[in-house]
Amino acid sequence: MSQATRKTITVIIPCYNEATAIDNVIKKFPHEKLELLGYTLDVLVVDNNSSDNTAEIARSAGARVIFEPKPGKGNAIRAGFCNISDDANYVAMIDGDDTYCPQELLRLIEPIDSGFSQVITGSRMHGRIKAGSMKKFNHFGNRVYSQLVRSGYRVPVTDVLTGYCAWSRDVIENLLPHLSEEGFSIEMEMITKLVRLGYEIYCVPISYEARIGDSSLRPFRDGSRILKTYLKNLRWRPVIEMTKA
């Protein structure tokens, strides 16, 4: 396949102290299959001020690595969005803790590549959740938030807090100026603001495994911030700049 017909996928992996898992995540992407199907994979690890050797391991595994000193998943994701490959056609996001399956990347990309939708999220709720991978409280909270978004924003999502998503490049370029959340509420902000920007959002089933290492998510503290973001964005609308004729 000629270089002109190839399509590039930039996969952003926000990481904080994921030295025990990041090598697995990077190496599990179906590199050969993607190559045969005409995709070039650009793996971008965002080291969010890790105190371990996450960055060194990621580079050794073949990823590009950038450093984001401001703590918080939202800050790391926005830094990744600002550094997607110049020739990227599609952008994906996956957590660096080896809970999601990089082998399932094409499941998210194909609906975008075929023109079905510009925004695809991976749904754990309608997928395969392995035993021990999600606490009952987190599972319940995710279902509640997803129901709130379906009701309040009229969008058919089943997992609003998923860390596995994909978008066409222009979606990210339109969304990025509107993002401001610094922590785990970034997923809620992205979903709700994409709806307000007029994008259709669809889910595909994905797998979810038990994580390696400790999670920095704090259910009660971060859950309240996620709810605040949901409520705030019910009234949010993008500012339309008026140009003179």
> How does pLDDT run across 91-108, given as a tens digit for each residue?
999 999 999 999 999 999
Global confidence as pTM: 0.91
Tell me the C-alpha distance between 72 and 14, whole Å. 9
Q: Name residues whose C-beta falls within 8 Å of residue 191's C-beta, 6 or more positions apart in sequence.
A: 121, 149, 153, 155, 157, 160, 201
CA of 119: how far to CAs of 6, 17, 51, 96, 203, in Å? 21, 29, 33, 21, 9
| Mean pLDDT (the chain, rounded) | 92
Q: How confident is the model at residue 243, as a pLDDT?
A: 42
Both tokens of residue 136? 């009952």
Between 215 and 129, the more confident residue is: 129
Burial track 84-117 (b if 16+ CB lie within 10 A, e otherwise): bbeebbbbbbbbbbbbbbbebbbbbbebbbeeeb
Tokens 């009234």 found at: 235
Is the predicted pLDDT of residue 241 greater than 90, yes or no?
A: no
Alpha-helical runs (H) found in 155-218: 169-175, 186-196
* pLDDT greater than 70 at residue 175: yes
Quick: pLDDT tens for 29-68: 999 999 999 999 999 999 999 999 999 999 999 999 999 9
Residue 131 CA to residue 143 CA, distance in Å, equals: 17
Domain at 3-234, CATH from 3.30.70.270, 3.40.50.2300, 3.50.50.60, 3.90.550.10: 3.90.550.10
Which sequence spans correspond to the domains of the chain? 3-234
Contact partners, residue 10, CB within 8 Å, separation at least 6: 42, 44, 84, 85, 88, 90, 91, 92
* Structure confidence by residue, pLDDT tens digits, 65-95: 999 999 999 999 999 999 999 999 999 999 9
